[in-house]
Amino acid sequence: MAKATVKPVVGVDLGGTKILAAVVDGENKILSRFKKRTKLEGGPEGLTERICQAVEGALVTAKLTPADVAAIGVGAAGPTDTAAGVVVTMPNLGIENLPLGKRLTDRFSVPARIENDVNCGTIAECRLGAGKGAADVLGVFPGTGIGGGILVGGTLLRGRNQAAAEIGHTVIDPNGPLCACGVHGCLEAYASRLAIVRDIAAAVGRGEASIAGEYIRPDGTNRLRSKALARGVTEGDKVITDVLERAARMLGEAIGSAINLLGCELVILGGGVTEALGSWLVNRVAAAAEKRALKIAFKGVRIVQASLGDDAICLGAALLAREALAENK
């Protein structure tokens, strides 16, 4: 089919800190991007409005109107009811059961597909990025939290309640640190950026010497982001590397266990923390995963870094929106 006959779609990455919209053409090339910060103010209506503004911004940048695109796909940082087009919850933003699909369709008069963000990232990496050609895949995206995406035979594993692949809430140690979900010792309580920053801040609070002190203010604000973690590794900062070594080991424990359970052929590590730390993190995670996994389960398994960076979720959301169109025809 000639490129000109396939309408572009808009893919939206709806994260806890930013909204990124991109216009994606029929060959999965990004024609334009538009970014807005996710804000707490305004509740569900305010958030919806900002998402619409991001979509419009991406369209205008690409010199397109809504009539020029075939669909909008959204990857949301939380569980979604894809069949109903609903963002089930984004607790940090006070979002519960937001019918975002309907809102976008009402506004732009095109079909809209709402999906979990890490599902989108995993799909994008498997179709276009580091996982091309793989069919049985686990995607793990450590960021503010830790999201997961699972492909079985090339198809997203959604699970009964469309809440599958929550590797961030698999147990590492029942007596471990308290997790945001309310129980102790989930992976997220060790290896999310929030947990990593918590442990580094505690060490700094105890008076241990670290460059992290430059990012943690006496007024309690904390500007320790993934890039500062990478700087700590590069400069051999003991506090930062010790905390990250443990986080990597625990990621490997959870991933090795998941390999034993799922029998996947490929694990893709993505998200901001992975992007900042690169092979330093991937190698440590892979070593710990290999140790936990049974020899027979680990044979031939590859653990790789995601390659699509910040575009992964937009691209996956766009891909899934396009696939949904094809299924409905």
Q: Is 292 in the site for a second copy (CB under 8 A)?
A: yes
Judged by beta carbon, residue 137 or residue 318, the one nearer a second copy is 137
Q: Beta strand pairing status for 18-24 and 9-14?
A: antiparallel
Give the largest Cα separation in the chain, rounded: 64
Stretch that binds a second copy, among 97-105, 112-120, 256-264, 311-319 (CB under 8 A): 256-264
Name, in order, each residue with C-beta under 8 angstroms of 27's C-beta and a sequence gap of 6 or more. Answer: 3
Taking the complex as a whole, the smallest distance from the CB of residue 90 to a second copy amounts, in Å, to 13
- CA atoms of 153 and 130, how far apart (whole Å): 17
| Binding segment toward a second copy, per CB under 8 A, in 15-23, 60-68, 170-178, 226-234 | 170-178
Piece in contact with a second copy (CB under 8 A), picked from 29-37, 61-69, 152-160, 307-315: 152-160
Structure tokens belonging to residue 63: 């010199």
CB of 15 or CB of 149, closer to a second copy: 149
The sign one gets for the Cα dihedral 281, 283, 284, 285 is positive
CA distance 169 to 167: 5
Say if CB 73 and CB 24 are below 8 A apart: no
User: Is 254 a binder of a second copy (CB under 8 A)?
Assistant: yes
> What does residue 165 show for φ and ψ, rounded to 5 degrees?
75, 20
- 163 near a second copy (CB under 8 A): yes
Q: Which is nearer to a second copy, 82 or 226 (CB)?
A: 82
Single-letter amino acid code for the residue at 209: A
> 210 is written with which tokens?
């670290």
Residue 263 interacting with a second copy (CB under 8 A) = yes
Among 264, 267, 318, 320, binds a second copy (CB under 8 A): 264
Strand partners, 149: 139
Sign of the dihedral through C-alpha 278, 280, 286, 292: negative
> CA-CA distance, 292 to 287, in Å (whole number)?
9
61 binds a second copy (CB under 8 A): no
Span of 64-72, 101-109, 246-254, 272-280 interacting with a second copy by CB under 8 A = 246-254
When asked if residue 79 is in the footprint of a second copy (CB under 8 A), the reply is: yes
Rounded least distance, CB 246 to a second copy, Å: 10
- Minimum distance, C-beta of residue 187 to a second copy, in the bound complex (Å): 9
Contacting range for a second copy; rule: CB under 8 A; set: 47-55, 113-121, 168-176, 268-276 = 168-176
Coil, strand or helix at 198: helix
Q: Which residues bind a second copy (CB under 8 A)?
A: 79, 88-89, 136, 148, 150, 152, 157-167, 169-175, 181, 183, 249-250, 253-254, 256-258, 260-265, 291-294, 296-297, 299-301
